[in-house]
Amino acid sequence: MLIPAPAAMRDKLHAANDPAPAKDAATIAVVRAGRRGLEVFLMRRQASMAFAAGMYVFPGGGVHEADAEPLPWFGPDAAYFAARFGCSLEAARALVVAAARETFEETGVLIAGSDEHSVVSDVTPYHDARLALERHELSFGEFLRANGLALRADLLGAWAHWITPGFEPRRFDTRFFVAKLPAGQRIDTVSDEADASEWVPLDEVLARVERGVAAMMPPTRVTCSELARESAETVLQAAAARRIEAIEPRLVEIDGKLWLDTGTES
């Protein structure tokens, strides 16, 4: 997929020769059934943010050292996710935990339950714990154990793997997950890294991007396009059937015009 790039990016054509290291990160596209089809929860990052300022994104963030520690876990083990994402067992575990932790911190959505057949339906009792997690006063594992909960890895679908282009000064090696909003849960207060947030039908948000009234980075835009083919009932099955390969967009010049080549068909 070729996306037009602004002429101002011409100076970055040769910046990929000495790329900055890419930090491991994870994100979850949280979806739900809406009146007009599948809806996704998106946040617009503050204009002051150093990375993806003003862009609509899924909840997520960087992997923390504590994310690699063992914790209560139901569902497919780290080996399953390591195979899906082509990474080590340690990295896979940390990525799954980071995805769940960051989504809980940023939105209050909690992919956890007291056993393999249940999932939290009311997250309001955990508001203070959310704040402690954000302040790094508590690890996700400590939070789960203190509340008799376990991560429900079976409710997370591995979706995609994107790496920030080599010409960017801040780079992330990000694994994308998808999850259906657990029954009974709702979005709580949203991280102050965002200045707006909403549930939006996928066709509507993609139309906004096409009209230029909403901005998304290519990984978010492509993921939304792919998810638009699914329903809340099929999204996890679709995730399990996907072949995941790392995608690192490149800045290319064709006939004097600049394009961002995402290496995808969507």
pLDDT confidence band for 261 (50 / 70 / 90): confident
**What's the average model confidence in pLDDT over 33-44?**
92
Q: What is the pLDDT of residues 76-90, one digit of tens each?
A: 999 999 999 999 999
The CATH number of 21-244, from 3.40.228.10, 3.90.79.10, 3.90.1150.10, 2.60.40.2140, is 3.90.79.10
Reply yes or no on whether the pLDDT at 47 is more than 60.
no
Reported pTM: 0.89
Rounded Cα distance between 199 and 59, Å, is: 12
Query: What is the pLDDT of the chain when averaged over all its residues?
Result: 88
pLDDT score, position 11: 64
Task: Please state the φ and ψ torsions of residue 235, each to the nearest 5 degrees.
Answer: -65, -40
Reply yes or no on whether the pLDDT at 145 is more than 70.
yes
The domain limits of the chain are 21-244
